[in-house]
Structure 1
Amino acid sequence: MPDHDHDTYQRLIGLLDSARADYELIDHAPEGTTEAVSALRGHPVSEAAKCIVLRVKVDRRTTRHVLAVVPGDRRVDLDAVRTLYAARYAGFSDAGTAERLARAVPGTVLPFSFDPELELVADPEVVGRPRLYFNAARLDRSLRLSGADYERVARPRVVPVSTPAPA
């Protein structure tokens, strides 16, 4: 596992422990796609936290980076994100920028931000879940946490930013 993944994992565990969050670690075969890892963990895809790093161009000079967290069975609503930031454009960040800001490789991005340049936005359906699952900055280990504990510890901006995934 690359060094920043180990550091991000340790930072996550330290944060959850210091906040006295009730969580469970789940070891599984290495997997980063939401549907496949949900099957390995044995829960509905809707209980997974899908974490997407976005680039939001507010105007010609201002670009913001947003970590959007949506239920695993939904997609990020780019129009909702664009409207939220009164921006000209909202789209997916390039892989290098996403990895640098999230401090994790694709498939292991946490629903937490440890970088001040990465703004955290979570869909209300995420924080409302009794159980929320996500890869813990590793492809071979996941974490289960309540939506309420997630909201309390991560302190995301909670706004609707998801749309149903195509059938």
Structure 2
Amino acid sequence: MSEVTTGVMTHQRLLDLLALEGARFRVISHEAVGKCEAVSEIRGTALGQGAKALVCKVKGNGVNQHVLAILPADQQADLSRLATFLGGLRASLASPAEVDALTGCVFGAIPPFSFHPQLKLVADPLLFERYSEIAFNAGVLDKSIILNTDDYLRIAQPEQVEFRRTA
């Protein structure tokens, strides 16, 4: 399957899930952009509402875990904090091939939902503390979803882990 086809499948699966669960959301079609700042401007949302999704690999201490780590788009990840929380020694970003295999999406289009049994979902709680809605690319680069924060937490049930960089 091509990257376009798998992304579209992820997009439809996400829409089906949100509809089935009675989520409060809206879909926005826009130019295909991969940068958080540009897409938040197009969406008309604050940068901090954006749910940035990082596919990571945590290793060491007997841990070998892929993680979908979600944080506000205006924050930077501290991968060593993420690794420590999960009991590992180090964490790194996954390769494009691993991202495709685990999410069916290209970088920049990954939604904050895990549909793969070997991809653990974690999210930094700051994403849910500042805004009543979160925004994210929905499996494809030219469509975004703006979703009620409480509905996201209820449906996705991410493990909440503080892993953003702090000063």
Runs (4+) of structure 1 exceeding 4 A deviation are none
Distance 1:142 1:47 in 2: 12
CA contact (8 A) 1:127 1:150 kept: no
Q: Match of 2:35, as an amino acid?
A: T
Of 156-165 and 4-13, more deviation after overlay is shown by 156-165
Q: Which residue of 2 aligns with 1:115?
A: 116
CA contact (8 A) 1:58 1:85 kept: no
CA contact (8 A) 1:101 1:118 kept: yes
Distance 2:106 2:73 in 1: 18
TM-score (norm 1): 0.93
Q: Which residue of 1 aligns with 2:106?
A: 105
Q: Which residue of 1 aligns with 2:70?
A: 69
Q: Match of 1:25, as an amino acid?
A: V
Q: Which residue of 1 aligns with 2:24?
A: 22
Q: Which residue of 2 aligns with 1:38?
A: 40
Q: Match of 2:52, as an amino acid?
A: K
Deviation sequence 1:13-61 (CA, Å, 0-9, x none): 11101100000101111111111111111121111000000010033x6
Distance 1:71 1:19 in 2: 24
Distance 1:124 1:105 in 2: 25
Is the partner of 2:139 in helix, strand or coil? coil
CA contact (8 A) 2:63 2:88 kept: no
Cα drift, residue 62 of structure 1:
4.0
Cα drift, residue 63 of structure 1:
1.4
List gaps (5 residues or longer) in structure 2. Answer: none
List gaps (5 residues or longer) in structure 1. Answer: none
Is the partner of 2:165 in helix, strand or coil? strand
Q: Which residue of 2 aligns with 1:136?
A: 138
Distance 2:78 2:16 in 1: 32
Is the partner of 1:162 in helix, strand or coil? coil
Q: Which residue of 2 aligns with 1:125?
A: 126
Deviation sequence 1:61-109 (CA, Å, 0-9, x none): 6411000000000011112111111212111111110121011111100
Change (3 A) 1:143 1:42: same
Aligned counterparts, 1:138-153, within 5 A: 138-153=140-155
CA contact (8 A) 1:9 1:137 kept: yes
Q: Match of 1:118, as an amino acid?
A: L
CA contact (8 A) 1:123 1:162 kept: yes
Q: Match of 2:46, as an amino acid?
A: P
CA contact (8 A) 2:124 2:160 kept: yes
